[in-house]
Structure 1
Amino acid sequence: MRAAPPAFHILAKPTGAICNLDCKYCFFLSKEMLYPGSRFRMADELLDTYIQQLLEAHQVPEVTIAWQGGEPTLMGLDFFKRSVEYVEKYKRPDQRVAHTMQTNGTKLDDEWCAFFKENDFLIGLSVDGPQEMHDAYRVNKGGEGTFNQVMGGLDYLRKHEVEFNILCTVHAANADHPLEVYRFFRDELGAQFIQFIPIVERATEQLLPLVNMGWSEKSGVERPLYVQQGN
């Protein structure tokens, strides 16, 4: 019988696929249709059980509780206050627990960010670059760009000195502008850590010659290079 791993990482999605945005590239947009009648909300009893079992299963002193979506802030602040209470209830004396959340940032305000600061949350903020690039795909239910709302959320994070990083999706609107995107995150947003998720074609050994031919025809354009680790 295989022994349980001493540590592992789980991304919990308490709202399932539910989100307040309608990003054009999102693979979750129609997922709710697959589960008719589902509430798409983690019940409090399940939250209690999840936190308890997650902490019990880790045989290492450092545990990360990570929330993602959909959009996790749609659960409401009280849900995450309870999650912190359950952590304090169930963690062992030798355990140190880190809290993280990936969010689109549109629902953040003083109350949310004061809570994040008080409980040392690390926030991943989804931004796809400067406004024109971001708004090309990250739109609300009315099809309008969300850049200004996200920047408003970032202002609250800064105001309360909440640690944050940036998650950027690489797509048709920003793939040809890597330096502009990077400098925007570094210089204008003050990001210390940036993660990129490509949803563009991956260049395999067979396709690389075609890619090179294509770039040879694009004089004066920055050539982005994205290196993938693993398969």
Structure 2
Amino acid sequence: MGKDMGDYIKHSDYYPTFVILQPTSFCNISCEYCYLPQTERNKRKIMDEKILIATAKLVLSSKNLGDHISFVWHAGEPLTLPIEFYEKSFEIIKSLNKFNLKIYHRIQTNGTLINSSWINLFKKWDISVGISIDPPKFVHDKYRTDRGGNGTFDKVVKSIELLNKENYPFHVITTLTPEALNYPEEIWKFYEENDIKNVSLNPVSIDGFNKTISLSSSVAYNKFRLFIYKLLKLREQSRKQIFFRWEDMERLIIENGSQTIRDASQPLKIITIDSEGNISTFTPDLATEYHDKYNNFIFGNILNINSLEIIFDNPKFKEIKKDIDTGITMCKNTCDYFSVCGGGDPAIKLWENKTFASTETSECRLSIKSRTDGLLDYLETLPLK
């Protein structure tokens, strides 16, 4: 969290590390727990070249950048656009990189459309690829269907097989629905058999358009804790060393007493530019949402500003940041897990607690508390060094 209190904001404390670009909000499938509203997922709007140019110019000319930045193509299904769109987009960004930053391109996809042509693009531009899949098959196909109601699991598996055949690295995001917690052995077996090396496990939560599917009960807390423990034990017994993307960070915090601050709580760390050029910050989940108190979470349009830092002068932004900071302080003063969590996800606080200025959510209980307790349970079984 920055040093500012009240209305004063020290701009140099904040600089972009992730730019979420929504090339289109359209999606070719219909996930039941998606945070985007169906109206957005139906739109065929494509990000105009002038929006991309304006974004790259403003972001890459900022004086407060680090030595690298990630452009994340997400918030819709990016692979529904032609390969040529990305070839041109990547060239534009490269041409505007006047400070010679290390630029990473990341694509988060539902995995149903990958073919050899897409893999050639990934190779050419060294793209980090994330694939969403929720094993086992019957769990995935319950929540992640195509627009005709048919399961998409087999299509995603074919894409994974093709990536493995081409020896192209990727990571997997698994959204854990209530049913999934009953099947740690089956989930581990799927990862193992499909040579998956890098996994994010995200418990489903109330977020954005999804208002119904969550793991919010005390029973879910204990089940998720046991689920994490079992996965770590299964890995210990396996020849496959699958990396869980949260584990090293949490282990470091537990062993060294350090703490983390979430990018999602810091302005400009994550910038979201939607397909029409509207700018949002903090977590990308806010970009399409409406709230009675704040109206929306748009702080301008990329075509109408000459500096990203101009959002700091926006009265609505100041109010939102003040409320987020209040919530972080409340968490710091009341929660034993603050060093691991950093104050929670502000969007989920808003949806569950009706205000940013609040503390615990189901996401905290599961993604932080239960998961950390499961890791601690596992660490306690290891021999002392």
Fold agreement, TM-score > 0.5: yes
Work out whether 1:63 is the aligned partner of 2:93: no
* Alignment match of 1:32 (pick from 9, 30, 40): 40
Distance apart, 1:211 and its partner CA: 5.9
Identity level (%): 25
Residue 163 (structure 2) aligns with: 157
1:1-16 equivalences in 2 (<5 Å): 2-4=10-12, 5-16=14-25
What do residues 168-195 of structure 1 show as CA deviations (whole Å, max 9, x unaligned)? Answer: 111023122224213322x122222111
Unaligned stretches of 5+ in structure 2?
1-8, 205-213, 230-245, 247-336, 345-385
Work out the number of aligned pairs and report it.
214
Is the deviation greater in 38-47 or in 24-33? 24-33
Residue 203 (structure 2) aligns with: 198
Moved over 3 A (4+): 225-229
Instruction: Please state whether the residue corresponding to 2:35 is helix, strand or coil.
Output: coil
Distance apart, 1:134 and its partner CA: 1.5
Unaligned stretches of 5+ in structure 1?
216-221
Work out whether 1:167 is the aligned partner of 2:181: no
Residue 114 (structure 2) aligns with: 108
1:1-231 equivalences in 2 (<5 Å): 2-4=10-12, 5-16=14-25, 18-32=26-40, 40-57=45-62, 59-185=65-191, 187-199=192-204, 200-202=214-216, 207=218, 223-225=226-228, 229-230=340-341, 231=344
What is the one-letter code of the residue matched to 2:134? D
Query: 2-side partners of 1:99 and 1:128: how far apart?
Result: 24
- TM-score if structure 1 supplies the norm length? 0.81
Structure with greater helix share of residues: 2
Q: Is the 8 A contact 2:178 2:215 kept in 1?
A: no
Query: 1-side partners of 2:152 and 2:87: how far apart?
Result: 27
Q: Is the 8 A contact 1:52 1:86 kept in 2?
A: no
Q: Is the 8 A contact 2:140 2:151 kept in 1?
A: yes
Query: 2-side partners of 1:156 and 1:188: how far apart?
Result: 14
Instruction: Please state whether the residue corresponding to 2:71 is helix, strand or coil.
Output: strand
What do residues 8-29 of structure 1 show as CA deviations (whole Å, max 9, x unaligned)? Answer: 323222212x200011222324
Query: 2-side partners of 1:191 and 1:76: how far apart?
Result: 27
Instruction: Please state whether the residue corresponding to 2:173 is helix, strand or coil.
Output: strand
Q: Is the 8 A contact 1:13 1:70 kept in 2?
A: yes
RMSD of Structure 2 on Structure 1 (CA): 2.7
Distance apart, 1:114 and its partner CA: 0.5
Distance apart, 1:157 and its partner CA: 2.0
Distance 1:6 1:131, change over 3 A: same
Query: 1-side partners of 2:60 and 2:168: how far apart?
Result: 24
Distance apart, 1:94 and its partner CA: 3.5
